[in-house]
Structure 1
Amino acid sequence: MLARFHERNGLEVEIIPDGRYGDAVKARLPNPTANDQRPVLLLGHRDTVFPKGEPTRRPFTIKDGRAYGPGVADMKAGLVIEAFVAAAFAECGGLSAPLTMLTTSDEEIGSPSSRPVIEAAAREARCVFNAEPSRLPAGSDFTRDRRQSVTSGRKGGVFMRAEFTGKPAHSGANYEKGASAIVDLGHKIPKLQGLTDLEKGITVNVGLIGGGQTVNTVAPHAWCEIDLRYVTAAQRSALVEAIRSIVETPIVPGTGAALSIKGEFLPLEGTSESQKLFETYRAASAGLGIATIAEFTGGCADSGFTAAQGCPTLCSVGPIGGMAHTPDEFLEVESIVPAAQVLALSAMRAAKLME
């Protein structure tokens, strides 16, 4: 659908195929006369966290100025404004720099196929606007206050799975001959959680566990899944190795364990150039009557991948929404057009300033 929309509006479209999670769609609006050929990059993802069939069970609705539906804020609305901004520039002759819009298919599971595509696009770009939903500052009403919050910093996240092996035995007749993988895991959960350091912004959460064979068998296997969040790239390696050491060092004799990384996001770390990009966006929004602040969040996004490539990045420039990943997810309908206007003006200015 996006590819057809872009083509109808005169953009050059490239489909980057992926048979696992879905294709990436890259649309370009070139400017061959620009001295600096690095494009302004508009970034977004098409997937949601919801299961197949969710739109049928819970269709798109609008009530009292808010839209509801799967992914309505995270991030269908952001894709809509980016697509229309790109189309508007195509109709009006483009920017003073090239423009690229990249949409991917697997952000909600850590972008396993899209990450190299995103990183390659970031290395070519002058700056990135990622249209995850913006937020209402606490106590605000958009219609009344015309205020919003965007994201200038995000935590990185590593999502891991630990597999534990033991030795099965009859729990009544041969208990002493067994080695319980569940008991080994149980001893390690508080050690893993103990790596949390809230003052440094580090959290470790053992969010899922399972294991065992039958109630009357010493458990021959167990597993857990671990969520690590951290603030700076410099923290990552030591934390992953600390988790690996805890997991893979046996506590119950006769057991073993192995840790694997299932996916991860890099942190969105602020730089002087990303601050310059935010100030460009803030000034554009102020000119349109919207007060914008920047906040740090523990949530992860593809913007961490672009920032790690050294590309100035601003996240959450989509329309205002909330309650993402829940049945109560909403979008402030009145924020859609202003979000598109601010993004367009910011892209125009960034095309000149971010050199």
Structure 2
Amino acid sequence: MIKTAMQAFISDRIDDFVNDLETLVNIDSSSDNLAGIDAVARFFVRRLEAMGFSTCLEKRGDRGVPCLQAHNRPLTETFDILFLGHMDTVFPPGEVQKRPFSKHGDRAGGPGVCDMKGGLLVALYVLETLHHGGVLNQLSMGVCFNGDEEVGSKASREWIEANAVNSRRVFVFEPCRPGHRFVLQRKGGGGYRITARGTSAHAGVEPEKGANAAVEIAHQTIAVQRFNQQADEGVSAHVTVIRGGERTNIIPDEARASVDVRVASKRQVAPVESFFKSLPANTHVPGVTLSVNGGVDRPPMESDDRTLELWRLIAAEAARMGLKVAWIATGGCSDGNFASALGVPTIDGMGLVGGNAHRQDEYVELNSIVPQIRLIASVCQSIAQDKRSSLQAS
């Protein structure tokens, strides 16, 4: 269990944590607000460098998305643990002015407080606790905080994967679920766009000369729903957006449907892709052609034996603290999906306990600050001890 001095260090800094959380939450950092994301990154750069970390604030992709990498050992060493998180939020610029950081009893609110600025701070405070206790220099630690997770991590995916594959374990600091429930499984996801193209005509005078793209999309929507009902457990496909037509008296020559797709395991990807590829050959309205674009671009996060072994270590440390923990599977995706798909043991939900992500009533439980930092620091300390024992034995 974590040393007494380190426990006191954590407990004595709770006010500092809340003040830092207020600072971060009150920085607008939506995925399209690159300056705000950069400001969040620079907050962490200063603190990480104060502990001796080497930092690199990259601007990735065509848009120059800020992505922060930090490490306390040469990059030629494999990370014992990679701390993974994202600095962007779903809330637009100006949201902070409408509803800045606030406290209501044992809860705090504000844009991104749960998803996931609280989690980023947990990661930082764990590292500062390990540094204070002299444990940090026994571990090779990596930090990757990207700036585009909420829009699919397109600019940062390869960067995340390169760091994950150089790691023995990955901790993802998305919010912990109420009741201290961590995440070991997540569905993979993606999307398809179905586009129907027909022929326009006057809807009242000569509708027979038209080929109605909207009607074709209606047929395809029903086909997707039937597939959804018949698919394996863990697979879902839902038409979420339909657009078509310009005026009420014109047969529409184009219509589109967007489909959200989720899969629970890698083996389920192929049947999904096969179904959507088959749609253009199965049209219903004469004169209408169909095209389908998209795919499952985020692999599922599946727990293997090594992940479960890591979970047992976390559960054992929690039991020593008198903290009851559990793990869940969820339909939502995170960057942990990428790490897990590479075969790296990955535990998600390492952030503050909270809920209602992406909503205006998003919150974190302030009484989870100390237990969460203490638990993760204790797990890291145990990993350091195991590493030291292995080196001595060899």
Q: SS of 2:108's equivalent?
A: strand
Q: Distance in 2 between matches of 1:214 and 1:263?
A: 34
Greater share of helix: 2
Q: Distance in 2 between matches of 1:299 and 1:162?
A: 23
Instruction: Identify if the C-alpha distance between structure 1 residues 163 and 37 changes in structure 2 by more than 3 Å, giving closer, same or farther.
Output: same
Which position in structure 1 is the counterpart of 2:152? 110
* Deviation sequence 1:216-266 (CA, Å, 0-9, x none): 111011111111111101111220220232256322121122222277321
Q: SS of 1:343's equivalent?
A: helix
Q: Distance in 2 between matches of 1:295 and 1:68?
A: 24
Q: Distance in 2 between matches of 1:100 and 1:259?
A: 40
Deviation at 1:135, TM superposition (A): 1.1
Which position in structure 2 is the counterpart of 1:143? none
Partner of residue 226 from structure 2, selected from 194, 205, 230: 194
Which position in structure 2 is the counterpart of 1:290? 323
* Deviation sequence 1:66-117 (CA, Å, 0-9, x none): 0111111111100001112223334435243300011011111221111111
Which position in structure 1 is the counterpart of 2:63? 20
Q: Quick one: which amino acid aligns to residue 73 of structure 2? A: P
Partner of residue 339 from structure 2, selected from 296, 299, 306: 306
Instruction: Identify if the C-alpha distance between structure 1 residues 95 and 273 changes in structure 2 by more than 3 Å, giving closer, same or farther.
Output: farther
Q: SS of 1:129's equivalent?
A: strand
Q: SS of 1:76's equivalent?
A: helix
Q: Quick one: which amino acid aligns to residue 104 of structure 1? A: N
Which position in structure 1 is the counterpart of 2:289? 256
Question: Is the 1:127–1:312 Cα contact (8 Å) retained in structure 2?
Answer: yes
**TM-score of the superposed pair, with normalisation by structure 2:** 0.82
Instruction: Identify if the C-alpha distance between structure 1 residues 21 and 327 changes in structure 2 by more than 3 Å, giving closer, same or farther.
Output: farther
Q: Distance in 1 between matches of 2:69 and 2:278?
A: 41
Which position in structure 2 is the counterpart of 1:40? 81
Which position in structure 2 is the counterpart of 1:134? 176
Instruction: Identify if the C-alpha distance between structure 1 residues 230 and 326 changes in structure 2 by more than 3 Å, giving closer, same or farther.
Output: same
Question: Is the 1:248–1:258 Cα contact (8 Å) retained in structure 2?
Answer: no
Which position in structure 2 is the counterpart of 1:10? 52
Does 1:58 pair with 2:91? no
Deviation at 1:9, TM superposition (A): 3.0
Kindly, what percent of the aligned residue pairs are identical? Answer: 32
Partner of residue 122 from structure 2, selected from 67, 74, 81: 81
Partner of residue 157 from structure 1, selected from 189, 194, 201: 189
Q: Quick one: which amino acid aligns to residue 114 of structure 1? A: S
Unaligned runs of 5+ in 1: 138-147
Unaligned runs of 5+ in 2: 1-42
Question: Is the 2:135–2:384 Cα contact (8 Å) retained in structure 1?
Answer: no
* Deviation sequence 1:26-73 (CA, Å, 0-9, x none): 1111179x9x73331010011112222211111110101101111111
Which position in structure 1 is the counterpart of 2:368? 335
Does 1:180 pair with 2:212? yes
Q: SS of 2:216's equivalent?
A: helix
Q: SS of 1:51's equivalent?
A: coil
> How many residues are paired up?
343
Does 1:170 pair with 2:212? no
Question: Is the 1:192–1:246 Cα contact (8 Å) retained in structure 2?
Answer: no
Question: Is the 2:301–2:337 Cα contact (8 Å) retained in structure 1?
Answer: yes
Q: Quick one: which amino acid aligns to residue 228 of structure 1? A: V
Deviation at 1:161, TM superposition (A): 1.9
Q: Distance in 1 between matches of 2:266 and 2:119?
A: 27
Partner of residue 241 from structure 2, selected from 176, 186, 208: 208
Question: Is the 2:279–2:290 Cα contact (8 Å) retained in structure 1?
Answer: no
Q: SS of 1:89's equivalent?
A: helix
Question: Is the 2:273–2:295 Cα contact (8 Å) retained in structure 1?
Answer: no
Question: Is the 1:167–1:180 Cα contact (8 Å) retained in structure 2?
Answer: yes
Question: Is the 1:202–1:231 Cα contact (8 Å) retained in structure 2?
Answer: yes
* Deviation sequence 1:288-343 (CA, Å, 0-9, x none): 22111111111111111001111000010111001111111110011012111111
Q: Quick one: which amino acid aligns to residue 221 of structure 1? A: E
Q: Tell me which moved more, 278-287 or 322-331.
A: 278-287
Q: Distance in 2 between matches of 1:351 and 1:260?
A: 47
Q: Distance in 1 between matches of 2:385 and 2:149?
A: 30
Q: SS of 2:286's equivalent?
A: coil
Q: Distance in 1 between matches of 2:284 and 2:320?
A: 62
Which position in structure 2 is the counterpart of 1:276? 309
Partner of residue 219 from structure 1, selected from 249, 252, 255: 252
Q: Quick one: which amino acid aligns to residue 161 of structure 1? A: R
Q: Distance in 2 between matches of 1:185 and 1:49?
A: 30
Question: Is the 1:127–1:350 Cα contact (8 Å) retained in structure 2?
Answer: no
